[in-house]
Chain A
Amino acid sequence: MTSEPDVVLVAKRVVLPGVGAFANAMQALQERNLVPAIQALAKQGTPLLGICLGMQLLLDESEEFVVTRGLGLIPGRVVPLAMQATSGASQKVPHIGWSGLVPAEEGADWQGTLLQDNGSGEAAYFLHSFMAVPADPRHRLADCIYGGRRVSAAIARDHITGCQFHPEKSGEVGLRILRRFCAD
């Protein structure tokens, strides 16, 4: 664990975790001068894994409380989860619990991604009130279904991956993703 830009820049792999509110997190990264360091990782090709809020930070901006700029590493926005299911019933927000991961595009497989050791339908643990909406569908890796709607569960662009769920809290399913991230 570090909050030093110099350490981040020379790391072999970087995990960007995150709990809390988007604006606070961006402010904390700015205060520690970590924004340019993380953006440099993208150019360097260092594998980067954003988890939960850390995934949302990868996008351009978020609507949480006030519209706030993100890291801009994956084009798109962060918007609130719908308060109503497609059935019309009210739905619980935050989304807390285990939901199955499915390929974002039907028939797509996860070969060559951090999810390549995982199968469609395997459940991971989610805890969030906002969701990422990548502008480019090619950056959508996996979805979960919540209230009848697809919600971005994992997004990826080159060596940058974001997981809305918590792989570190998703039992063996999550550990497989983390082992893949740590593998050469």
Chain B
Amino acid sequence: MRNVRLIARLDIKGPNLIKGIHLEGLRIIGSPAEHALRYYKQGVDELLYMDNVASLYGRNHLGDLLRLAANNIFVPMTVGGGIRSVDDATLILRAGADKVAINTAAVSNPKLITDIACRFGSQCVVLSIEAKQIAPQRWEVYTDNGRERTGLDVIDWVKHGTSMGAGEILLTSVDREGTRKGFDIDLVRTVTAEVSVPVIASGGMGRAEDCVVVARDGDADAVAMADILHYKRATIGEIRAHAKAAGLGVRDYE
């Protein structure tokens, strides 16, 4: 049985860790470095940093944060936001990231997925998809933190993106993001059924049980969580213990 990964998602704006609802209405939570270290000490499986305004200004500012984190955090780190070229990806990976997540730039230039994959391997390229439901069993791809519609169908884009070399999918439900209402199970299940690469479910985790449901019913390979951790409604340890008790495969962590 595979182990479902528990991922802390840190949305960053300038020097601050932030959290919004539907990726908007951002509130300042505190220091990204302090929160990242706390989650590492709680036994988080991975960290996901998203530079929220990078896409708007066309560049990612997380280099310093990554270099700092690389000194005391020894779990994989994925970074997204504003990565527009192989050079951008190179800088982020050199600063200590293990994977880069691309969304906006991949939509406008899908070949970027292939270019980064050829240089660093598919396992380095996470295709980040912001999905909004538009009809029963239909979702549209959005970019720029759920602000811009693309006209692309999520399922078509997932297939295209993985054929271009994406090694993993970060699937964020804009509808559920920040709402604590649980994951969009239909969305996750529909995507996991289409691709052979791992899928990270993101958006909506309200309680530990949501993680179990999206892994069991949605077949998610990993679960990204933010609100529940940032507002200290549960620790990674508590979520892991709950998942294990519910029969989910998770990493053994003492």
Contact = CB atoms under 8 A, between A and B. Distances in A.
Nearest to A21: B121
Given A97-B45, A123-B253, A171-B74, A92 B198 contact: yes
Contact of A127 (B3, B93, B123, B197): B123
A98 B197 contact: no
Contacts of A121: 252
Bin the interface of chain A by size: 20 to 34
A170 B3 contact: no
Given A19-B124, A92-B197, A129-B123, A97 B221 contact: yes
Which of B3, B251, B252 has the most chain A CB atoms inside 10 A of its CB? B251
Contact of B197 (A21, A94, A122): A94
B167 interface: yes
B120 A98 contact: no
A171 B253 CA distance: 10
A82 B100 CA distance: 25
Contact of B252 (A122, A125, A172): A122
Given A92-B198, A96-B123, A97-B222, A125 B2 contact: no
A174 B75 CA distance: 10
A168 B253 CA distance: 16
A40 interface: no
B196 A98 contact: no
Contact of B120 (A20, A97, A171): A20
Nearest to B252: A123
Contacts of A20: 119-121, 124
Interface in A91-137: 91-94, 96-100, 121-123, 125, 127-129
A19 B120 contact: yes
27 contacts: A20-B119, A20-B120, A20-B121, A20-B124, A21-B121, A83-B196, A91-B2, A92-B196, A92-B198, A96-B5, A96-B167, A96-B221, A97-B2, A97-B5, A97-B45, A97-B221, A98-B3, A122-B252, A127-B76, A127-B123, A128-B123, A168-B74, A169-B75, A170-B74, A171-B40, A171-B74, A175-B74
B43 interface: yes
Nearest to A169: B76
Contact of A19 (B121, B197, B198): B121
A123 B251 CA distance: 6
Which of B75, B168, B222 has the most chain A CB atoms inside 10 A of its CB? B75
Closest 9 CB pairs of A and B: A98-B251, A94-B123, A123-B251, A20-B121, A169-B76, A92-B198, A127-B123, A97-B5, A96-B198
Contacts of A13: none
B74 A97 contact: no
Nearest to B4: A97
Given A91-B2, A94-B197, 19 more contacts: A19-B124, A53-B121, A90-B196, A93-B196, A94-B123, A96-B168, A96-B221, A97-B3, A97-B5, A97-B251, A98-B3, A98-B45, A99-B3, A123-B251, A125-B45, A127-B76, A129-B121, A166-B76, A169-B74
Contacts, number: 84
Interface of B: 2-3, 5, 40, 43, 45, 74-76, 93, 98, 118-124, 167-168, 196-198, 221-222, 251-253
A69 to B, nearest CB: 19
A94 B98 contact: no
Interface in A155-171: 166, 168-171
Nearest to A175: B74
Contacts of B76: 125, 127, 166, 169
Which of A96, A100, A146, A170 has the most chain B CB atoms inside 10 A of its CB? A96
Nearest to A128: B123
Contacts of B74: 168-172, 174-175
